Amino acid sequence: MSVTESPLDLNVRGMYFSGTGTTETIVLAVAEAISREEGFLRAPDINFTPPAARGQEYRFGQQDLVIFGVPVIAGRVPNVLLPFLNTLEGGGALAVPVVLYGNRNFDDALIELRNILEERGFHTVAGAAFIGEHSFSRILAAGRPDKDDIAKAEEFAKAAAGKIRALVKKAEENAETAAKAAGSGAAGIEEELNAALAAAGPVAVDGEDPIRPYYIPRDRKGNHINILKVKPKLDESKCTKCGICVEACPMGSIKPEAPGVVDGICIKCCGCEKKCPEGALYFDDPGYLYHKEELELGYPDRKEPKLFL
């Protein structure tokens, strides 16, 4: 690539895991807003929520900008996603890690996602933690992300695009200077851009490193509430066997021959419960219900997104 050729236009795509659609909403809002900026092109998104999508290989390169989003589960990146995330090949692509949490806290999820992307060969240039309606609740952060969240996502996107353009411009200037010093009319800028990205380093985000253990729900006496094996139950009198829950389950734990029956891993994303048009799926585990109510009582105030550039 000569100095007369721009390393932009970058291909902007969203890549996300989203059980109830809240992470998807934010990731796509950021991707769409960045792609409206000069020097960025919209590329097809990658939804790796369905199990089959996580069986594919994904490789990227220096012309890619990936807005990469996951929900927060127990203050971390969902551990069921780690084997898949460790197959990604960044290839020097730019990335914006985004996490979405249910109004309690994102703890170390964002720094963990940033670290994973960096280890997989991406350059993280910005990051964000947004809020969505909690998967367990229809009260906690109800209706979020809302219009204000989307507006903040678009502002964040514009700022991230500006930062990227500044990095590219600096790389172009350095390449031009190097070409003139060498008496050549053309020079590649890839090395200069990589140097600029390396100098900038991974985007600084909130969280601790080493990463802390997963958040453990407790009762008011400090006793651990174990909900790992809790699954939704089915009210067969309401179930029409429409199959929506089968498609909604990101773990493939609801089979077409038995809609509504969760017979495999359940990560409590609650996509099946919230998307069921008949309200046929429900939770009745006492520990789960206690934890849900404690969250609703303990975190009623509106949290705002945290943005890192």
* Domain boundaries defined on the chain: 10-160+197-214, 233-297
**pLDDT value of position 241:** 96
Other Cβ atoms within 10 Å of 231 Cβ, number: 20
Helix and strand numbers (H, E) in the chain are 8, 10
Superfamily per CATH, domain 10-160+197-214 = Flavodoxin domain (3.40.50.360)
**Cα gap 262→179, rounded to integer Å:** 62
Q: Which stretches of 33-102 are assigned E, i.e. beta strand?
A: 40-42, 46-47, 64-71, 94-101
What are the residues facing 236 on neighbouring strands? none
145-171 pLDDT tens trace: 999 999 999 999 999 999 999 888 887
**pLDDT value of position 89:** 98
Which residues, 6 or more positions from 15, have their beta carbon under 8 angstroms from its beta carbon?
Answer: 27, 45, 46, 47, 48, 58, 66, 67, 68, 69
**pLDDT value of position 79:** 97
**pLDDT value of position 296:** 97
**pLDDT value of position 198:** 83
What are the residues facing 42 on neighbouring strands? 12
Lowest pLDDT segment from 4-13, 42-51, 80-89, 227-236? 4-13
- As a whole number, mean pLDDT of residues 236-254 equals 97
**pLDDT value of position 188:** 65
**What are phi and psi for residue 151, nearest 5 degrees?**
-60, -40
Q: What is the CATH number of domain 233-297?
A: 3.30.70
**Cα gap 57→34, rounded to integer Å:** 25
**Cα gap 307→309, rounded to integer Å:** 7
Q: 167: part of which helix (H) or strand (E)?
A: helix 147-181
Among residues of the chain, what percentage have pLDDT more than 90? 85
236 or 178: which leads in pLDDT: 236
Mean of the per-residue pLDDT values of the chain: 93
Identical fold at 10-160+197-214 and 233-297? no
- As a whole number, mean pLDDT of residues 2-31 equals 85
At 22, which amino acid appears? Answer: T
- As a whole number, mean pLDDT of residues 79-105 equals 97
- DSSP symbols for 178-236: HHHHTT-S----HHHHHHHHHHH-SPP-SS-SSPPPPP--B-TTS-B---TT---EE-T
30 has pLDDT over 90 = yes
**pLDDT value of position 7:** 53
CB 14 within 8 A of CB 44: no
pTM, full prediction: 0.93
Lowest pLDDT segment from 148-162, 178-192, 208-222? 178-192
Per-residue confidence band for 174, with pLDDT thresholds at 50, 70 and 90 = confident
**Cα gap 141→131, rounded to integer Å:** 7
- As a whole number, mean pLDDT of residues 195-205 equals 88
**pLDDT value of position 170:** 81
